[in-house]
Structure 1
Amino acid sequence: MTPGGDVAVTGLGLVTPAGIGVLESWRGILGGVPTAAVDPELEGMPVDFSCRVPGFDADELLGRRTAWRLDRYVHLALVAAREAILDSGLDPREWDSTRVGVVMGNALGGVRTFEEQHSAMLREGTKGVSPMLIPMMGINMVAGYIAIDCGAQGPNLVTTTACASATTAIGTARELLRAGRCDIVIAGGAEAGLTRPVVAGFTRMGALSGRVADPAGASRPFDGDRDGFVAAEGAGVLILERMEHARARRARVRARLVGYGASADAHHATAPDPTGDGVEQAIRMALLDAGIGAVDVDHVNAHGTATPLNDITEGRALRRVFPHRPSVTSVKGVTGHALGAAGAIEAACTVLSLEEERVPPTANLERQDPDIDLDVVAGGVREERMSVAVSNSFGFGGQNAVLVLAAA
């Protein structure tokens, strides 16, 4: 195999608070209607709202025999992966399984299972703990179960870089393909951490929006009145292939993954470096890897969490790198922040924007922060010609990861 060359995106799968499946999710994101709502599972907590996937029935979607032995974060991932494989036109019965890898991002693992089993142990002692605890809670298991589900026998791993996890996974998958280690990689991220202890932890950190009287208006990326993110769950999966492999089977190439960059702030456990130098470094590295200049970028799908520090830091870095002011959006106004899954959901949205030449609006952006000098799309879908787009993800620990995608 010859290293190098573009990587083809041939399939997409989404499970988000905006809907189950790519069509439903994209329709909701384009509509700009926030999904945050009061969450019965968080009743009585200081922050009692979230963005959950609506109407997700794992027994119906996966079969009860499969669903009972998996944590919810794997449920979401499997549904997204199956959709992506189907969308790609690949048939797992026919591919060379040793040349198919899986790289998924995840931040928290099976926290719901762990919490339920911890409660069972407190009630009943060790005999009350399920023998499935370890394989259900393990962070690595999402990639393992996807491989089991479709028979992928190539490299199999999970990347854990907090809220950059899925973007790191997609970038890592690209490197496996460019190095000739795989022909196909199933890549993305999944998260289902909407449990009371996790939400309490984020609340105590001051990371979440406190708009309990207006959940739908709580996630406000780049808005002057933003006060924190809204916790969410979800999954996104992209099928990536060596371009030669995709062309040989006459696959529909939805977009090209042409660049990846990563860096560390080396600054603080939870706060971004206010200079934005690490963010800028990752973006410039991705552009260099893609072999393009900043001026070639038409659109940025921003990390845009709606936290006071993240948005101003990202905004300043984007302004320095892209003085020509490409369009910018954050889908988190609709979906909330799905942590380790966010980067894959947003990469899939970036592919769709390139395909359809449509930029979704940033929901709840009513009064843009005057210190964020960007062309942020708000109020409705913007139609514009575009050839190259960037997707940003940043996480606790100072983790920065950036993808460059180009039209097919």
Structure 2
Amino acid sequence: MAVYLHSSVSHTASGISYGTKSSGRALSFIDKPNVTLTVNGQSGIGFYAMDQIAVDSSESRLFTSLTTVLEELISLSGLDANELKHTALLLGSTSLDIGTLQPSANKSLGLPQIDRLSHYLQQRFALSPMHLVFNTACTASINAVIYAKKLIDLTGFKHVIVIGCEFYNQLTMAGFHSLDLLSNEKLLAFHQQRQGLILGEGIGALLLSEQKPERKPHYRILEGDSSCDTSSLTMTAEDGSHIKQVMAQAVKKSALQPSDINLVKVHGTATYNNDIAEFNGLISYFSCPPPILALKPFIGHTLGACGAIEMALMDSLLNADVMPVPDYVTVNTQDNMLPFVAPTSAISDFQYILLNHCGFGGNNAALVLETQH
């Protein structure tokens, strides 16, 4: 069965997108963080905050922004109340609502209710009782997309909403800072001089549907694959063998060959080990790697939300005649580890796009999109 990306909305440091429309202004792809924070006593730590709202970890900010994005997606989709009642909801996130938790004298350990956000949205918008949470590190929301397609293929669901969300919280910031994984300057994905990642927050909302959208161009969702690399407790094998395996399965299930892939939307976190592993996987799988698109230099690493967010941003680029390419790519080009897409190209010109996501703990996922005109 054909499954399509019918509608999408995102809210990130790049702005607010409503499918191929924006909230009063075009998305702004700037390759540097838009705020600085103090973390573990160190000031000047860069962070990609959601545009137009102040940074805090309050419940009101979290629930208001989530509600607004899903309201916009539903409005854009045209689904009526009866259709919503039969629409499943899948939510992918790493930290969920952990930033809103308050210390309690009655508990030695505070634990979030894992389905609190999905249950709230299901109740707020009168969706199907079928709501699930994916918490597989950085692959959470792309795994939700893969599972959503299976729900439409194999069950009676005609529509599935996928939400990827990540919100500023001190625990995540302090954790990555203590691991010495944060860059002091820029996020230089697939660059020899990369210094580490920069965290970001955001929301991506997707409506997957068996109904072909009227707008053109649009994406048809082909097949994906997801698997856990057991070579390490914390990361995937640096030789890229497991990433290669997952990419190969996604392309094979899509009835394609490696040579059919025109563009790779890379995970590209700019950490030393992650970029090396993904680089080795791409070099090993493709005899000549296609151009790559890296979005984290513009929105930061949004962890479990990045799958849905980056797909929504790609959707918003379908009617654009330029591509976001970081400034560093054109400076000292010999330091680029892979060929980046040309800024003068249009994403709608690429028929088959491979999306890569690599998670903490070795969970890797890949998905193939087909651009249809």
Are 1:56 and 2:53 counterparts? yes
Partner of 2:5: 9
Are 1:260 and 2:227 counterparts? no
Change beyond 3 A, Cα 1:165–1:301:
same
SS at 1:267 equivalent: coil
Partner of 2:180: 206
Alpha-carbon separation, structure 2, partners of 1:77 and 1:268: 34
- Structure-1-length-normalised TM-score: 0.81
Tell me, yes or no, if the aligned pair for 1:71 and 1:110 is still in contact at 8 Å: no
Specify which of 177, 194, 198 is matched with residue 230 of structure 1: 198
Partner of 1:82: 71
Runs of 4+ in 1 over 6 A off after TM superposition: none
Where does 1:141-180 land on structure 2 (aligned, <5 Å)? 141-180=116-155
SS at 2:157 equivalent: coil
Alpha-carbon separation, structure 2, partners of 1:299 and 1:318: 12
Tell me, yes or no, if the aligned pair for 1:12 and 1:239 is still in contact at 8 Å: yes
The amino acid that maps onto 1:87 is L
The amino acid that maps onto 2:208 is L
Change beyond 3 A, Cα 1:355–1:387:
farther
- Structure-2-length-normalised TM-score: 0.88
Alpha-carbon separation, structure 1, partners of 2:42 and 2:169: 11
SS at 1:266 equivalent: coil
The amino acid that maps onto 1:34 is D
Tell me, yes or no, if the aligned pair for 1:101 and 1:156 is still in contact at 8 Å: yes
Are 1:241 and 2:196 counterparts? no
Are 1:107 and 2:82 counterparts? no
The amino acid that maps onto 2:299 is T
Contiguous gaps of at least 5 residues in structure 1: 59-66, 128-132
CA drift at 1:404: 0.7
SS at 1:139 equivalent: coil
Tell me, yes or no, if the aligned pair for 2:97 and 2:117 is still in contact at 8 Å: no
Change beyond 3 A, Cα 1:400–1:269:
same
Alpha-carbon separation, structure 2, partners of 1:321 and 1:271: 20
Deviations 1:170-207 (A, max 9, x none): 11111100002311100131011x33332121111122
Alpha-carbon separation, structure 2, partners of 1:300 and 1:353: 15
Percent identity of the aligned residues? 26
Change beyond 3 A, Cα 1:11–1:383:
closer
Where does 1:291-306 land on structure 2 (aligned, <5 Å)? 291-306=255-270
Tell me, yes or no, if the aligned pair for 1:73 and 1:109 is still in contact at 8 Å: no
CA drift at 1:351: 3.1
CA drift at 1:72: 4.5
Tell me, yes or no, if the aligned pair for 2:356 and 2:367 is still in contact at 8 Å: yes
SS at 1:21 equivalent: strand
Alpha-carbon separation, structure 2, partners of 1:402 and 1:12: 19
Change beyond 3 A, Cα 1:319–1:350:
farther
Alpha-carbon separation, structure 2, partners of 1:375 and 1:255: 24
Alpha-carbon separation, structure 1, partners of 2:39 and 2:64: 21
Tell me, yes or no, if the aligned pair for 1:191 and 1:339 is still in contact at 8 Å: yes
Tell me, yes or no, if the aligned pair for 2:238 and 2:280 is still in contact at 8 Å: no
Change beyond 3 A, Cα 1:106–1:71:
farther
Tell me, yes or no, if the aligned pair for 1:89 and 1:251 is still in contact at 8 Å: no
CA drift at 1:149: 2.2
Deviations 1:201-228 (A, max 9, x none): 111112211x1xx4xxx11111211111
Where does 1:8-407 land on structure 2 (aligned, <5 Å)? 8-22=4-18, 23-24=21-22, 27-28=26-27, 32-40=29-37, 42=39, 44-45=41-42, 48-56=45-53, 70=59, 72-91=61-80, 93-95=81-83, 97=85, 99-114=86-101, 117-118=102-103, 121=104, 125-126=105-106, 137-192=112-167, 194-209=168-183, 211=184, 214=185, 218-242=186-210, 246-247=211-212, 251-252=214-215, 254-354=218-318, 356=320, 358-365=322-329, 366-367=331-332, 370=335, 372=337, 374-377=338-341, 380-383=343-346, 385-407=349-371
Tell me, yes or no, if the aligned pair for 2:36 and 2:43 is still in contact at 8 Å: no
More helix by share: 1
Equivalent residue pairs, number: 363
Alpha-carbon separation, structure 2, partners of 1:156 and 1:14: 20
Alpha-carbon separation, structure 1, partners of 2:222 and 2:320: 19
Change beyond 3 A, Cα 1:363–1:161:
farther
Contiguous gaps of at least 5 residues in structure 2: none
Tell me, yes or no, if the aligned pair for 2:96 and 2:165 is still in contact at 8 Å: no
CA drift at 1:159: 0.7
The amino acid that maps onto 2:175 is G
Alpha-carbon separation, structure 1, partners of 2:274 and 2:5: 29
Tell me, yes or no, if the aligned pair for 2:182 and 2:195 is still in contact at 8 Å: yes
Note the aligned Cα RMSD (angstroms). 2.8
Deviations 1:334-388 (A, max 9, x none): 111011111111112333445556532135333457583x22136x443362111
Partner of 1:63: none
Change beyond 3 A, Cα 1:371–1:311:
same
Change beyond 3 A, Cα 1:41–1:152:
farther
